[in-house]
């Protein structure tokens, strides 16, 4: 029996058109997924007008099974993360 594929951590850069601001934008996401294509598919669900997606493996699923993203003990960073995701 094959071992279940472990999840890695990927940095995804999305270039997209913001129809509300009527401008091109770049956004970033850290994604837990089983593959580069899996990370791209997860992010693509959140955007309508994507011009490009770039995915970079940050932590290989071959090294560790990523289940959560730990953040630094920095409340400014934590507030920024919350604000960026509260829409």
Q: Measuring CA to CA, which residue among 7, 14, 16 is closest to residue 58?
A: 7
Locate the DSSP E strands across 1-87.
Answer: 8-18, 23-33, 50-59
Instruction: Tell me what pLDDT residue 3 has.
Output: 59
Whole-prediction pTM? 0.84
For residue 37, the 8-state DSSP code is H
Rounded to whole angstroms, the Cα distance separating 20 from 70 reads 32
Assess whether pLDDT exceeds 60 at residue 2: no
Look-up of token digits 């850069």: 13
Render pLDDT for 5-40 as a digit per residue (tens, 0 to 9).
799 999 999 999 999 999 999 999 999 999 999 999
Q: Among positive and negative, which fits the CA dihedral 3, 7, 8, 13?
A: positive
């Amino acid at each position: 029996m094959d071992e279940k594929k472990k999840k890695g951590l990927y940095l995804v850069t999305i270039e997209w058109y913001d129809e509300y601001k009527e401008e091109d934008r770049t956004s970033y996401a850290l994604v837990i997924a089983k593959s580069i294509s899996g990370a791209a598919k997860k992010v693509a669900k959140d955007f309508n007008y994507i011009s490009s997606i770039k995915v970079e493996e940050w932590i290989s699923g071959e090294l560790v099974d990523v289940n959560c993203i730990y953040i630094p003990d920095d409340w400014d960073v934590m507030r920024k993360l919350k604000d960026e995701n509260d829409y």
